[in-house]
Amino acid sequence: FIEPNERFRLPQDSSSDIIMVGPGTGIAPFRAFVQQRQADGASGRNWLFFGNPHRHSDFLYQTEWQNALQEGALTRLDLAFSRDQAEKIYVQQRLREQGAELWQWLEGGAYLYVCGDAQHMAADVQQALLDVAEQHGGLSPESAADWLKGLQLQGRYLRDVY
């Protein structure tokens, strides 16, 4: 069933950076986000984290993302194809790997969007964000949790999970 999510919207200020975490079907709204930002001529940067089992068959909208990267409509793309190697790799691992850069973007005012599976992915991604805040922001676990809550209250940590 489709339910509206009023707050899951692009930033009003198009010069803000956006970080999109959308493995699996969670990629859906981000297609529109990137197309809209390109159409608006937004100056903010766009960073997408995507994951699925196999790159060869499950890289949803692959050619569109490749074009977007070439045209600059997408600034960064990080991928996790869980079954393409012996060990399973998911988007949260990529978030941790890119932790330093991720922290920079967030400290600079970036908006963070998470879309997709509620049962496992959402919690794992949230934990990864807390870990990034601790490791790259030098925060204690309690402060990291406060920081994330603050992000939420500011309307800069938005989720559409199901």
Partner 1 sequence: MTDRITITKTKTTTKAEAATPLPAAEQLKRDSRFLRGTIAQGLADRSTGAISEDDNKLMKFHGSYQQDNRDIRDERRRQKLEPDYSFMVRVRLPGGVLSPQQWLDLDDLASRYGNAGLRITTRQTFQIHGVRKEDMRDLMHGINTTGLSTLAACGDVVRTFVCSVNPQISSGHAKVYDWSWQLMEHLAPRTSAYRELWIDRLEQTTDGASDAEPLLGPTYLPRKFKIGFAIPPYNDVDIFAQDLGLIAILDADNQLQGFNVAVGGGMGSTASDPSTYPRLGDVIGFVPPEHLLQTCWHLVAVQRDFGNRQERKHARLKYTIDSHGGLAWFRDELQSRLPFAIEPPRPYQFTHNGDRFGWIEGDDGRWHLTLRIPSGRLLDVPGHTRQTGMREIARIHRGDLRMTGNQNAVIANVATEDKAAIEALVRQHGLDDHESASGLRLNAISCVALPTCGLAMAEAERYLPHIVTQLEQLMARHGLQDEAIHLRISGCHNGCARPFGGEIGLIGRAVGKYDLRIGADHIGERLNTIYRENINEASILAALDELFARFVAERHSGERFGDFVVRSGIVTPPERRPALVY
Which residues of the shown chain bind partner 1 in the complex (CB under 8 A)? 55-57, 59-66, 77, 79, 81, 84-85
Residue 62: alpha-carbon gap to chain centroid:
17
| Nearer CB in complex with partner 1: 77/139 | 77
| Nearer CB in complex with partner 1: 12/57 | 57
3-state SS assignment for residue 58: helix
| Nearer CB in complex with partner 1: 61/162 | 61
Of 59, 135, 137, 125, nearest to 95 by C-alpha is: 125
Return d(Cα 4, Cα 88) in angstroms, integer.
33
Return d(Cα 34, Cα 68) in angstroms, integer.
8
Structure-block tokens of residue 48: 């997408």
Q: How far is the CB of 31 from partner 1 (least distance, A)?
A: 10
| Nearer CB in complex with partner 1: 50/113 | 50
Q: How far is the CB of 8 from partner 1 (least distance, A)?
A: 23
Q: How far is the CB of 135 from partner 1 (least distance, A)?
A: 24
Q: How far is the CB of 97 from partner 1 (least distance, A)?
A: 13
| Nearer CB in complex with partner 1: 57/119 | 57
H helices of the chain, in order, are: 28-40, 55-58, 62-71, 91-97, 99-107, 121-137, 141-153
Q: How far is the CB of 44 from partner 1 (least distance, A)?
A: 22
Residues 6 or more apart whose CB falls under 8 angstroms from that of 15 comprise 42, 43, 44
